[in-house]
């Protein structure tokens, strides 16, 4: 693929950046691969302001818990740069800088509610800004704000780099969960949804490297079709064979013993192991339990929310009726139909066989074992 639009200088790219280019971070802004258009078009959208990046997250140009966290961190840097270049005098009140930091943080964090990675990344950026500003009394010079800008740029890059490292470690830990048979995944948890490589899909990539005979089943994932449009596209690009199924086929395949394990990603994992993920995950977990099939969740530490006791407290995003009533802008139901478009559901920890993280595999009881492995989040 040629990137003729890329005339401006790329800021940085971590060493293991994937062959699938979810975004390019350049001196001028962020080019995001428009995931709404995949697989029909591979088109990048240019974002050089907070409002454009917030909108891209909200409208799902970019999606997937770790990816939106990293994008928000980069968005933080881009908006801070705009603020820096708008400064007139040589000195500015600390109060004003703090307000800008607060505004950027709020707007980014509220773009989507369920994935904790978003607020996790933004609060990391906010914290580092406020810690730096604490060193000054009332005013700060433009030169010092430039220093803060450089710190923020490094931090966003680190968040991206750490996510790739985490994914590679998750794949290493998870590669032995299955040696033969069929594996089913839901939604998209690959390079498009992360800093690179992927979580659940990263494990599947690794398992396939070991045994080319493994069968990979991909749920289409209604209504946004992350499975059909994105996971299938990624696997096709990676030359890994897969079988695409409609969501409602999964149960019967389990009954026919075609599925030996299920592995999904996560948007938020709370203290007792309850896990929010793409709508349909809960149904798969119940079906897996009924058919005695292991059900795994793969996620980095940044997806854990240890301040929340159980899944009841996880905010669930409700998206527009449009996503259910249309497909590629064509109407597929009477326009006046009432809809219930819950974007996520919560799978109780007791239906999850294990959670695969970059720090190791966590087994039940989760209340006891999660804090042993995941710290300071």
Residues that bind ligand MRU (CB under 6 A): 63-66, 115, 187, 189, 193-194, 199, 226, 265-267, 277-278, 343
Please name which of 81, 87, 107, 102 lies closest in space to residue 26, comparing C-alpha atoms. 81
Give, in order, the Cα–Cα distances in Å from 40 to each of 65, 230, 233, 357. Answer: 23, 10, 10, 33
- Mode of pairing for the β-strands spanning 44-47 and 30-33: antiparallel
**C-alpha span between 299 and 283 (Å, rounded):** 19
When the beta carbons of 65 and 270 are compared against ligand MRU, the nearer one is 65
The distance of closest approach from Cβ of residue 179 to ligand MRU in the complex, given in angstroms and rounded to an integer, is 23
Q: Are 263 and 201 in contact (CB under 8 A)?
A: no
For the annotated catalytic residues, the residue numbers are 267
The distance of closest approach from Cβ of residue 319 to ligand MRU in the complex, given in angstroms and rounded to an integer, is 8
**C-alpha span between 191 and 167 (Å, rounded):** 10
The DSSP annotation for 319-356 comes to --THHHHEETTEE-S-TT-----B-EEEE-GGG-SEEE
367-374 long-range contacts, CB within 8 A, separation 24+: 367/271, 367/272, 367/273, 370/269, 370/271, 370/273, 370/304, 370/306, 371/271, 371/306, 374/301, 374/304, 374/306
When the beta carbons of 29 and 227 are compared against ligand MRU, the nearer one is 227
The distance of closest approach from Cβ of residue 226 to ligand MRU in the complex, given in angstroms and rounded to an integer, is 5
The distance of closest approach from Cβ of residue 109 to ligand MRU in the complex, given in angstroms and rounded to an integer, is 15
The distance of closest approach from Cβ of residue 281 to ligand MRU in the complex, given in angstroms and rounded to an integer, is 7
Give, in order, the Cα–Cα distances in Å from 145 to each of 76, 123, 126, 138. Answer: 14, 19, 14, 13
When the beta carbons of 22 and 226 are compared against ligand MRU, the nearer one is 226
């Amino acid at each position: 693929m040629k990137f003729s639009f890329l005339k401006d200088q790329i800021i940085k790219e971590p060493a293991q950046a994937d062959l699938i280019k979810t975004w390019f971070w350049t001196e001028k802004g962020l080019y995001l691969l428009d995931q709404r258009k995949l697989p029909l078009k591979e088109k990048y959208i240019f974002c050089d302001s907070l409002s454009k990046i917030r909108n891209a997250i909200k409208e799902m140009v970019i999606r997937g818990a770790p990816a939106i966290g990293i994008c928000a961190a980069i968005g933080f840097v881009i908006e801070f740069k705009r603020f820096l270049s708008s400064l007139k005098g040589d000195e500015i009140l600390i109060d004003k800088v703090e307000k800008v930091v607060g505004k950027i943080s709020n707007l980014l964090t509220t773009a989507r509610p369920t994935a904790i990675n978003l607020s996790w990344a933004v609060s990391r950026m906010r914290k580092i800004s406020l810690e730096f500003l604490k060193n000054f009394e009332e005013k700060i010079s433009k030169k010092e704000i430039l220093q803060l800008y450089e710190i923020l740029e490094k931090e966003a890059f680190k968040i991206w780099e750490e996510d790739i490292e985490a994914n590679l470690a998750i794949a290493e830990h998870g590669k032995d969960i299955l040696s033969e048979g069929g594996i089913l995944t839901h939604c998209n948890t690959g390079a498009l949804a992360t800093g690179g490589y992927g979580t659940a899909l990263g494990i599947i990539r690794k398992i396939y490297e070991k045994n080319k005979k493994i069968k990979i089943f991909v749920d289409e994932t209604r209504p946004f079709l992350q499975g059909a449009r994105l996971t299938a596209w990624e696997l096709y690009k990676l030359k890994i064979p897969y079988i695409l199924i409609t969501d409602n086929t999964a149960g019967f395949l389990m009954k026919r013993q075609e599925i030996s394990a299920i592995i999904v990603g996560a948007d938020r994992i709370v203290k007792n192991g309850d896990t929010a993920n793409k709508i349909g995950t809960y149904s798969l977990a119940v079906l897996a339990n009924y058919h005695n099939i292991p059900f795994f969740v793969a996620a980095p530490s940044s997806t854990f929310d240890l301040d929340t006791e159980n899944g009841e407290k996880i905010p669930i995003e409700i998206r527009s009726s449009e996503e259910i009533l249309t497909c590629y802008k064509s109407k597929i139901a009477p326009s006046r139909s009432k809809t219930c478009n819950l974007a996520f559901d919560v799978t109780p920890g007791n239906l999850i066989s294990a959670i695969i993280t970059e720090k190791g595999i966590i087994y039940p009881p989760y209340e006891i074992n999660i804090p042993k492995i995941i710290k300071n989040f």
